Amino acid sequence: MDASTESLARQWLRAARHTLILTGAGVSAESGVPTFRDALTGLWARFDPEDLATEAAYREHPGLVWDWYEMRRGMVRAVAPNPAHLAIARWAAAHPGTVTLVTQNVDGLHQQAGSEHVIELHGNLFRNSWLHGCGRCDAHRTDTTHPPSCTACGALLRPAVVWFGEDLPRVALYRAQHAAEIADVCLVVGTSGLVYPAAGLPGQAKAAGAKVIVVNPQPSALDATADAVLQMSAGDCLPRLLAM
């Protein structure tokens, strides 16, 4: 990776009044959380998302899908944030009010690393919601069914993550798009750039005048939008790129 691209990226980050940081599964890969699309190790290489990450799949196989998310929760509980998560948290703390962190990840590792006000576009594994509940559903008083269900209406508890075909949380998306509009720099870390609307944020930021920096050891769909591509792992790159 040529040093001049990295030093240019560092200059842009230091001069930025507003920075949008967009992360994907790659930022958690070095913590041991599988990505989605990496050839052999990715979740979608081993499981069919249509069977596990849609409302239809949950209705058809609620126990199977619930157990799969319990498995993922267990996997994340067993790992810790890595140097990339920590570098982002330190950078944001040292530049108060100028950094917006938007993640596609549902693992909560940014928050564990100390990042605050993280915008979670795809929800969070450790929160639950109801599958079309009656409004009086109480997660503390559920039936002993598997998955748990509401004692009043029988609605199923579900992981509060965004499934395919579902809209993103509106406030989170609005805040992320606003951050793209005002950003001077958009730092994109560890995403294939294939899933919209998240993958549209760097292009939106660029159209509004921002410099786009991509960090990914592999080519990604966002490289063409980038002003600087740093083909390295997040854990190697970010501690240097965001060094104080």
> Catalytic residue positions?
122
Query: Rule CB under 6 A: is residue 142 a binding residue for ligand OAD?
Result: no
Q: Which of 30, 107, 120, 184 contacts ligand OAD by CB under 6 A?
A: 30
Q: With the C-alpha atoms ordered 76, 78, 83, 86, is the resulting torsion angle positive or negative?
A: positive
Locus of tokens 């498995």: 71
Closer Cβ to ligand OAD, 42 or 143, answer by number: 42
Shortest distance (Å) from residue 235 CB to ligand OAD: 6
Cβ-closest residue to ligand OAD?
26
Over the Cα atoms of the chain, what is R_g? 19
Cα gap 202→209, rounded to integer Å = 11
Q: Looking at the chain, list the stretches that DSSP marks H as alpha helix, in order from N- to C-terminal side.
A: 3-15, 26-29, 43-46, 49-52, 55-60, 62-77, 83-94, 109-112, 170-182, 201-207, 234-241
Determine which residue in the list 218, 224, 240, 243 makes contact with ligand OAD, applying CB under 6 A.
218
Q: How far is the CB of 64 from ligand OAD (least distance, A)?
A: 17
Binding to ligand OAD (CB under 6 A) within 58-77 occurs at none
Residue 225 interacting with ligand OAD (CB under 6 A): no
User: Least CB distance from residue 138 to ligand OAD, whole Å?
Assistant: 27
Q: What is the rounded end-to-end Cα distance, in angstroms, of the chain?
A: 21
Least distance from ligand OAD to the Cβ atom of residue 42, Å: 5
Q: Does 181 bind ligand OAD (CB under 6 A)?
A: no
Residue type, 170: R
Place of tokens 């100028």: 98
Identify which of 208, 214, 210 has the alpha carbon closest to the alpha carbon of residue 241. Answer: 214
Please identify which residue in 18, 90, 110, 122 interacts with ligand OAD, judged by CB under 6 A: 122
- Residues forming contacts to ligand OAD in the complex (CB under 6 A) are 24-26, 29-30, 35-38, 42, 53, 104, 122, 162, 190-192, 194-195, 215-218, 220, 233-235
